[in-house]
Amino acid sequence: MTAELPSTRFIVTAPGRVNLLGEHVDYNDGFVLPAAIDRVVTITASVRSDRLVSLNAKDLNQSTVFSLDDLEKKVDQAGKPLPSWAIYPAGIAWALQKRGYAVCGIEAEYTSNVPIGSGLSSSAAVEVAFATLWRAAGEWQADQMTLALICQEAENKYVGVNSGLMDQFASAHGMEGHALCLDTRSLEWRPVPMPEGVAIVIADSKVRRSLTNSAYNDRRASCEEAVRILKKDLPEIRALRDVTPDQFHKLAGKLPEETRKRAQHVVEECARVEEAIQKLEAGDSAGFGRLMYEGHASLRDLYEVSCPELDVLVDIASKLPGCIGARLTGAGFGGCTVNLVEESQAGAFIEQLKEKYLQATGKSTDVYLCQASKGPEVKTF
């Protein structure tokens, strides 16, 4: 017997996201340009009369039960460590309660067609979906940016991944047909129209990475070191976002080699995003595509977060008819590439990319035809 109340049942969806440009700049106060995509986490849930959260992850065929009164310990009802997939919803409950929001016991099952570990923010989609669910079930008010910030806090302080805000922001604010320009310092944002007749094609390299075990935190530390050194000549700067490319190149010789490379990527990537917004608003998809290629080269050579499979995918895509731009997306070390492709040629592009990637690497790739999509939704029944 479960402790369900004879009350409203909820179906909640929240999207994954793809980042079109602005990689590894969100934790440097820069501008990012993600889009929510039409791949989602779906939760079906009802409220319980007790303080227990019963979760069934359908895709993994795993279940767990934990108490809302025992979240600090990260254990299930039997006192065993929570499975890794359950840390995300538990973290949301923890962060909500920490801020004083009412969180109720729930009976929930969820499924996702956002590929796990591919750089499309499956974890952020889970976080935003559960935050949206608890807001609806608790009948309290919080705007989308507040929800995104709560989700980021859960990921940083509970899950233990030192990520920026972009993933949760994009999932929470998705808008059909638009990318989302976010100033990660002020949190001001605006929609930017995607070009007409252009498809977003995402190719999964099938190389999996775990952010908590990756060199993500090392690179973040390098950026902070660069700011400390550059402050001696540029005392007004607070983050690499404040350094112009001209200023950087004049002072780059004062940085250790590895720190210089990491910082150069961030400074130039921030400038690329600002230029890219102008290109999109002018309908210049070719100009935007050129910036995508430049961004990939920088992530590969300066930030060193690419891998051979991602480079192969970008190289193949760049030579196929209809491809406007291509780059790795997400934190790197595996995951996916994002490609802007003429809609009329997207079908042929996908087939050729799959075939040529298999020939080059011996690996298959899953390729997704996506659209810039809406944010989370709640339905009751």
Reading the block at residue 89, the tokens are 């919803």
Average pLDDT, integer, range 29-58: 96
CA 27, chain centre distance (Å): 13
> What is the C-alpha end-to-end distance of the chain, expressed in Å?
21
Residue type, 250: K
Q: How confident is the model at residue 91 (pLDDT cuts 50, 70, 90)?
A: very high
More confident call, 371 vs 267? 267
Give 243-250 contacts, CB < 8 A, sequence gap 24+. 243/267, 244/271, 245/271
Residue 212 has pLDDT above 70, yes or no: no
Reading the block at residue 358, the tokens are 């298999």
Let me know if 381 is exposed, middle or buried by CB neighbors in 10 A (0-12, 13-18, 19+).
Answer: exposed
Confidence at residue 210, expressed as pLDDT on a 0 to 100 scale: 58
Judge whether 132 and 147 are in contact, CB under 8 Å. Answer: yes
The full set of domains in the chain, from first to last, is 4-193+374-380 (3.30.230.10)
pTM of the model: 0.90
CA dist 344 and 346 (Å) reads 6
Cα–Cα nearest to 35, from 144, 172, 157 = 172
* Catalytically annotated residue among 29, 167, 204, 242: 167
Interhelix angle 144-153/166-173, nearest 10 degrees: 150
Q: What tens digit of pLDDT does each residue of 270-303 get?
A: 999 999 999 999 999 999 999 999 999 999 999 9
CA dist 377 and 168 (Å) reads 15
Confidence at residue 341, expressed as pLDDT on a 0 to 100 scale: 98
What distances in angstroms separate CA 77 from CA 44, 68, 173, 193, 317, one per listed residue? 21, 10, 34, 47, 49
Decide if 167 is catalytic: yes
CA dist 302 and 260 (Å) reads 9
Q: What tens digit of pLDDT does each residue of 308-334 get?
A: 999 999 999 999 999 999 999 988 888
